[in-house]
Structure 1
Amino acid sequence: MAKTLDDIFDDDASGLLNQKEKSTNLNTDEDRLIDSFEEINAFYEKNNSEPSTGSMSEYSLSARLRGFRSNDSKKKILKPFDRFNLLGEVEMEKRTLDDILAEDDLGLLNPEGDLSIFEFRHTPKIDKRADADFVAQRTSIKEKNFEKYEVMFKQVHQDLKSGKRKLLPAENVYKNIQVEHFYLLDGLLLYLESAVLTEEEIGGRKRLDGRTVTIFENATMSNMLYRSLGKVIQKNGKVITDTDENVQYQLNRSTGFVEEEDLQSGWVYVLKSKSKRAEIISLDDLFKIGFSTTKVIDRIKNASKEATYLYSDVEIIATYSCYNLNVQAFEKLIHRFFAENCLNIDIYDAEGRRLVPREWFVVPLPIIDEAINLLIKGTIVNYRYDRVARKIVLK
């Protein structure tokens, strides 16, 4: 049977738990006054009457009691110990908070005293951060206003089910988070409709941040910060890829016909490696397909020192001038089109770090030229590359 606390105390055979009051030989005047009055209390408790003048011992106690009754200051001290009301009514002093604070002889409550105890000297101080200009909260969207978004969310679900879209890990999230794209957060689809971004310096580094308009499929919206959105997606979310049709639309919208006022975006290029590595030399149809905002000849000057060029010099095979090109849309389409033929080798830098090149493809040069022309025309989404037949065919 479990012992109670009382059982444990009662089982103290050695008396280890007996509390002994500490004795002291130092008595104050007040202590002696109280002891003197306690003698009168003891007499009354024994005899049930006040001491009288019948004997010398009683006379002494009686005289002492009369002395206490005639002294107001002593009565105030003794009244808390007056168990038999021998002193009668005593008007006790009512102490206010101000009275208590006024008796702070040691200055413990003085706000202008030594406050060094509150100073942090051996621990780092927490930097005071600027208060957020406004806390982002989700708000409901009226049913009528949400209708267009509901159609979009339903389409994304269908695209995911059919394989037109895929869920990818949220890596390099600030490069992958784009306006007019969809993401998955805690099992809920969201659409980043817009973002007003400005460059801010944080911790000595310049970063883009600003308020977003983020729509959730449960008919709510938020104006959370761009970087905050990126953090939560990276922690508890997924990136949803775009469809080929949408990427092609973005590309077409940014290119179209070239006119005088149009700006040249750069050059799409096709390169061949001059590497002496056996696994590279053995691949006759190995080409790099990429994009450069500077002239290609200038871009490849230091090719032998860069991993993206396999740490070797390269030969320019073809270049295509591009105007108003949506670079990200182009790279997504062309790399997805030849994804099954991407070079799969490991490259190591001077420090032994493993690198994986992503823009090299084992595809015949005429096929690459045909694919780029289909992409520029806006029809590449209707085709696929048959790696077995080594030709482009209709889907």
Structure 2
Amino acid sequence: MPRPTLEEIFAEADEFGLLAVKLKPRASSSGNNSVSILNDVTRFFEQHGRLPDANASNHEEMRLGTIWENIAKSPSDELRQADKLGLLARKEEVAEVSWRDEVEDDDIPDSLDDIFNDDGLDVQPELVQLKHVTPAAERQVPDHRADFIPCKDFDQFAGLFETMQQALDSGAREATLIEKWAIIEPMEGDFFIRNGLLAYIAEKSESTQRGGARDHRLRVIFSNGTESDPLMSSFRKSLNDDKTARVVQRLGLGPLDPDWETDKVSLSGTIYVARSLSEDPAIKPQRDILYKIGVTSQDVRRRVADARNDPTFLLAPVEIVATYELQNLSRSKVENLLHRFFDAARPGELFIIDRFGKRIRPREWFYVLPDHVAQAAQLIKDGQLHQYRYDRETQKIVRRS
């Protein structure tokens, strides 16, 4: 049976009234709709004393202003008769500036100062004054750079480098590729290959907080007889940037294995006592009684060179007031002993705010005098520190009863 044509379909009886469609009359801008808009604009004008702005941030005002601009361009006679306040004439007199319009070159600000100095911009000073931030001029010239310098005590490491190179050549030790973005945690005694040189982690200083993340200052000895003292984060980045970087796997199965610390060299070091030169009102009055106790294997002056950028040093320069040499003693153990010994003199309320707004509580500062540290250092050398304690009330080192 052939399919019916459209003419045949429409010729059939419409028993359900599907074709009886009544079209709604189209609204006209010159009709009642325009008058209704005029009434809305009139109410807006009476309330605010102005016409609605088509560029307003308020959505309803922007919508009303846009529609009004369109119908006011060619108003009908009915709209003119309904305009009792003369808003159509007022619209023609107003020349509004839109953010969509092109601006003159003279109106474009040259700097942020021009913007903030604009009389029409009311900005509170607290919003544009930075706090706890090092000025850019000072950041451009850092106090300390982790440059390569000759290693003065390289004779202590030369044999270790030779042994490690022989082990790598024979296959006794394995150097594995460092994958990009790998999280590396260098420890004292670790070996790496960076830029074709063996790099040995001789020292990992006390923990510090930088930008909310834990960091350390390293002492890295290289097989060419040089050394550097980068931050652990910087050293980690240099390894990730070097496509040929390798990490030398340690001996043993873990920290409990006797062979795990085979590569670690026991270096003599220096106990140093530092006084803060901070101008912070909370620290300055205490500068003559508040001292930092630290231990390092590198040159003390180089260790404190970047003090003003290091939260461990209260983000301020320091003055070294005393140093005491160590002989055949573990630096980390000596430092832990001293910090535990003077724990009663540690200020619990001491904290600083770093440039990222984080509160940091350095743990290496104490209300002691350099003479106290000298006495404790001598007791450590004599193996008698455990027989004494620090009395906070009398501010003296006394024998345990």
TM superposition score category, shorter chain reference: 0.3 to 0.5
TM-score w.r.t. length of structure 2: 0.35
- Please identify the structure whose Cα radius of gyration is greater: 1
